[in-house]
Chains A and B, each alone.
Chain A
Amino acid sequence: MRIGYYPGCSLTSSAREYDESVRAVCEVLDLTLVEIPDWNCCGASSAHVASEELALSLRARNLALAEAAGLDEILAPCAACFSRLASASVELADNPQKCQAVSEVVGMPYSGGVKVLNMLAVLERFKDEIAAKTDQSFRHKVACYYGCLLVRPTKVAQFDRVEDPQSMDQIMAAAGAKPVRWSSKTECCGTGLSTITRTELVANLSGRIVADAAKREAVAIVTACPMCQTNLDMRRPEINQKLQEEHRIPVLYVTQALGLAMGIDPQRLGLHRNMVPVELPEPEPEVVTTDDDDED
C-alpha cells in the first residue's frame, strides 16, 4: 500500500524523531510513504494573520501538488499541519468555484479530491497488522493524549469522537499496551500561548496534563502532535517547577511507542532526541487467564 506523505516543517527539525519513527513503523506495516514533491509550509497559525487567502493558498498548493502526483490520500503526522490541510481540503471539496479561484493563485489546477489523514486515522487501518507485528510484551500503562487538533473542530477533523476519543487507545492496546482511563485526553496543552509572553500559563496547562497522567499511574504519555510533545517534553523543567514536583514521565510519539512494541532499534525511532529520558520500567507480568475463566 502507498499513501501521500506530508512531513511538514516540524518533522524536518524540532520533531525529527516523529518523522524517523513514522518512517520506521510504516516500513514494518508495509505502507509506502510517497513524499509530496516540493511541499511547502502549511502556514500554521501565522498565515491568516496576513490574509485568509494566503492561508488557504499555502495549504492548497500542497493539495494541488499531491493531486498532480496522483495521490488521493495524504498522511500529515503533525496534528497542526493535519488540521490546516484538512480544513482547506474540507473547504475546497465539492466547491469548484473556490477550487478555480485558488488554482489561479497557486498557479496549479486543483479539483478538490485530496483527502487529508492524521497519523491515528492511518494507524487505525492497521490495527490487525500492529497486533501481528508485536509480541504483546509492551504491557505498559500509557496515557493516550490526543490534544485539540486531532478531534476539533469536528467539521475539519472528521475523526473519532470529540470527547473521550478512543482511536489511539485502541491502537496502543493492539500493540499490547494498557491505556489508562483518564480525563485529560483532549485538554489543551497551551501551544497557542507560546507566542505571547505567558509561558507560565503554558506550564500550568501542560502541568495539569502531566500530573493527571502520572496520577493515573501511566509510565508514558503517548501523543500524535509535535506541539503537544514539545510542550509536555521540552517544557518539563518549567512544568516541574510550576508543580513543585519532579515528574519524569516520558512523552512518546505514538509511532515511537509502536516502534518500541515492534522491537525497532530505539536509535531509528529517535528516542535519543526526547528531552525527558525514555526509561520505561519492566512491564507488569502478563496475567494468564485460566481455562476456567475462559469457559464461563
Chain B
Amino acid sequence: MSRLGVFVCHCGENIGATVDVTEVAERCKHMPGVAHAEDYKYLCSNPGQNKIKQAIEEHQLDGVVVAACSPRMHEPTFRRAVTDAGLNAYMCEVANLREHCSWVHEKADSTTEKAIDLVRLQVEKVKRNKPLDTIQVPITRSALVIGGGIAGIQAALDIADSGHKVIMVERSPALGGHMAQLSETFPTLDCSQCILTPRMVDVSRHPNITLLTYSEVEHVEGFIGNFKVAIRKRARMVDEDLCTGCGECLQKCPTKNVADSFNEGLSMRRAIYVPFAQAVPNIPVIDTENCRKFQGKKCDRCAKACPTKAIKFDQKDQIINVEVGAIVVATGYQVMGTERFPEYGYGTYPDVITGLQFERYASASGPTQGVIKRPSDGKEPETVVFLACSGSRDAAKGVKYCSKICCMYTAKHAMLLKHKNHHAKAYVFYMDIRSAGKNYDEFVRRAIEEDGVKYIRGRVSRIYEEDGKLIVKGADTLLGGEPVEIKADMVVLASAALPNHGQGELAQKLHVGTDPYGFVAEAHPKLRPVETTSAGIFLAGACQSPRDIPETVGQASAAAAKVTALLSRSHLAREPLVAEVNRKPAPQFSDCTGCLLCETACPYQAIGHEEIKDRNGNVLKTVAKINPGLCQGCGTCVSLCRTKAIDLHGYSNEQIFAEIMSL
C-alpha cells in the first residue's frame, strides 16, 4: 500500500478564492493510499517546500501530489523539493487546480468537487509511478551557423571565441549579407562596410571557424547535442586552394551583361565574378547559367588568364557531412520587390526603386560611386519622394506587421540625398514615425529640422509617368486628407522586409516552426526569444522578424551565449519520459510483432528496429527499437501499436486507465 502525501496550495487568492482548499485537503486525507494531506498559502515558497520535505520524512511518504498551478510553472520546483527529501523526482505529480479549475470556474461547491477529482486522478497515477532516472546524452561540442550576414558573423565569432568549433554556411559566394550592401548606418552615419569588413576577416581567420560559402544546408537529422548535417558545397568552378584572388580571370570574361545582384540589379557583372571588392573569401565563382562555356559555346578565357590554373570547369558539387551539438539560424530577410505594387506601376517604372537599391546608389562602392542617380537616364534626381510603409502594415498586401527598420533608413536616405545634393528636394510620405532607439528620434528630427526633409503624413495612392516625371499622388492627412501631387524624378519605396527566399524549406529541414508570415518562430516571445521550437536550434537577426543592426548583433550574441552554455557540458540530461518496446522471456521475446507501423508514424525519426538473435547469430525475431535520445515522448507509437507492445514511461497505459477509472 502506498503512503502518499497531498499538498494543496491556495496560490494566494488565485485558487483559494474559488476553491475551498481546506475542504480539498480534508477530503484527500480519506483517499485510499493517502497517508497525509494539508493545505498552505504558497507551496512554491521556501517555507512551502520545507513543509513538503518535512512531511515526507515525518510520515515516510513514498509519493507526493501537489495540487497547485500548472506543472509548466512549478513542476521542477516541487520535484527538486522531493528529491531533497530523498524521493525520486518522478514520484511527484502536480494537479493543476489553477488553470484547469479556479481560473475557469466560478466559486461553487461543484468547483471544489472538480478540484478534488483533479487531485484524485493524480493520486491514482502516483500510486503507479515508478522511479525514473534522467537520460544522459553526450553532446557534440561544436556549432553550425547558417547565414553569413551580420547576425551569423556575430554569433559565429562569439561561439568561436569561447573555444568551440563553428561551421559557418553561407549561401552566396561571400560573407556580409545585406549589411555589406548598405551605405551608411543610422543613427551615426558610419560607413557600413568599414565596420563590417574587419568582422568578415575575423571570421575567415578564426582558427575555430570553418567557413563554407556558396554552400547550403541539404539535410539535417538528430537532436539537441547531436545533429548530423549534410551541407552542399556548390561548385565554384574555381579551386579555392590554388586561387590567389588576383582577379585576372574577371577582366577576361567576355560575358558582361549579367544583372549584378549585389548591386540589386543596378549594374552588370561578368559570368565569373566576386560579388564585391572587399569580398571574403576573395575567390571568384563562375555563374554557370550565364557562362558561355556552360552554355555550350567555346570559351576558356578565364582559364587561360589564370596564372595558377585554378579554374576547374569540371568541379562538382560536394556534400560535406558534419556533426554539431547546436545550430544557429541567421538567414536574414529579403525586401518586397517593386513588382508587388500595382498602384505604383508593377515595377515597370525604372525610377521607382527599393530602399536597398537606393543604398547601392548611396554607397561609395556602388554602381555610381556614391552619387545618387536614377536608373532610367543616369541623371541626378532633383526631387525624390520616399514612401515609408511600402507594403508594410498593409493587410491587403499580406503584410500586417511593421518592418521596423524603414522609418530610420528612410530618414537616412532623405538625409544622404540632401548631403550629396544640396539643391535636391526630399519628401517622405509616412503613416507614423517609429524611431524608438538610442539616438533614433534625434536622428529623424535632424533630417527634418537641419536637412529640410519634408515629411507628409499620408500614404501614396498612385504613381504614374507623365512627361518624363513620376507623378506621385498622395494626401496630407494632417490637412484633413487634402490631395498632394508631387512631380518626382525618382521614388524610393521603403518596401516591406519579408522572410528570405528558401526560408520555408530550411525551416522544414530543421523542423523549426515559422509564424504565419514565414519568419522563424521563437520558443517564447518574451522569455525564450533566441530559441526556436526545436531544442538545440537557436535564431538570430531578421530571420525571426525585421530588425536593425544593433538589435541583430545583440540577439546574435544572446544566441551565442545559449549555444556556449549548451556546449559547456559534456552530457545533456533529458527527461526520461520516453517510450519503450516491451521485452518478454523467450520464446516470445516481446509483444512486438515487427509490423513497424510505428517506425513510419514517429514524427521524430526515433524508431528503428533490431534483430533478436540466438547464440549462433540466427535471427529469431525483428522488433521495433526506440532511441531514447530522439524520443520526445509524444505517444504516437503507443496509440498506434496493435499489440500494446509499447508503453510510455511516466504515462503508461496502466496509469492513464487508473486515472480514468477513478472518476
Contact = CB atoms under 8 A, between A and B. Distances in A.
A183 B466 contact: yes
A183 B342 contact: no
A164 B341 CA distance: 12
A111 B342 CA distance: 36
Interface in B434-477: 462, 464-466, 471
B342 A164 contact: yes
A161 B466 contact: no
| Residue among B342, B464, B466, B471 having the largest count of chain A Cβ atoms under 10 Å | B464
Contacts of A164: 342, 345-346
B394 interface: no
Interface in A127-167: 161-164
B190 interface: no
A169 B462 CA distance: 21
Contact of A163 (B343, B465, B466, B471): B343
| Residue among A161, A162, A164 having the largest count of chain B Cβ atoms under 10 Å | A164
B465 A183 contact: yes
Nearest to A162: B342
Interface residues of B, number: 9
Interface of B is mostly: strand
Contacts of B466: 183
A279 B34 CA distance: 104
Contacts of A183: 464-466, 471
A77 B116 CA distance: 74
Contacts of B462: 163
B464 A161 contact: no
B472 to A, nearest CB: 12
A35 B345 CA distance: 40
A162 B464 CA distance: 15
Interface in A183-216: 183
Nearest to B466: A183
Interface string B235-249: 000000000000000
Nearest to B341: A163
Contacts of A163: 342-343, 346, 462
A36 B290 CA distance: 58
Contacts of B345: 164
Interface in B328-367: 342-343, 345-346
A164 B462 CA distance: 11
Nearest to A186: B462
A211 to B, nearest CB: 11
B501 to A, nearest CB: 24
A161 B465 contact: no
A163 B462 CA distance: 10
A55 B465 CA distance: 40
A164 B464 CA distance: 10
A164 B347 CA distance: 12
B395 to A, nearest CB: 15
A43 B464 CA distance: 35
Nearest to B342: A163
A161 B339 CA distance: 13
B111 to A, nearest CB: 42
B365 to A, nearest CB: 36
A183 B464 CA distance: 6
Nearest to B467: A215
Interface string A99-137: 000000000000000000000000000000000000000
Nearest to A183: B464
Interface in B58-107: none
Contacts of B465: 183
A179 B471 CA distance: 21
A190 B491 CA distance: 29
A161 B342 CA distance: 9
A164 B348 CA distance: 11
A180 to B, nearest CB: 12
Nearest to A184: B464
Contacts of B346: 161, 163-164
Contacts of B343: 163
A183 B462 CA distance: 10
A261 to B, nearest CB: 27
Contacts of A161: 342, 346
Nearest to A161: B342
B526 to A, nearest CB: 39
A183 B465 CA distance: 7
A144 to B, nearest CB: 15
Nearest to A185: B464
Interface in B469-500: 471
A152 to B, nearest CB: 12
A163 B349 CA distance: 14
Interface string B551-564: 00000000000000
Q: What are the 7 closest A-B residue pairs judged by CB atoms, nearest first?
A: A183-B464, A163-B342, A163-B343, A162-B342, A161-B342, A183-B466, A164-B346
14 contacts: A161-B342, A161-B346, A162-B342, A163-B342, A163-B343, A163-B346, A163-B462, A164-B342, A164-B345, A164-B346, A183-B464, A183-B465, A183-B466, A183-B471
Given A164-B346, A183-B465, 6 more contacts: A161-B342, A161-B346, A163-B343, A164-B342, A164-B345, A183-B471
Interface of A: 161-164, 183
Interface of B: 342-343, 345-346, 462, 464-466, 471
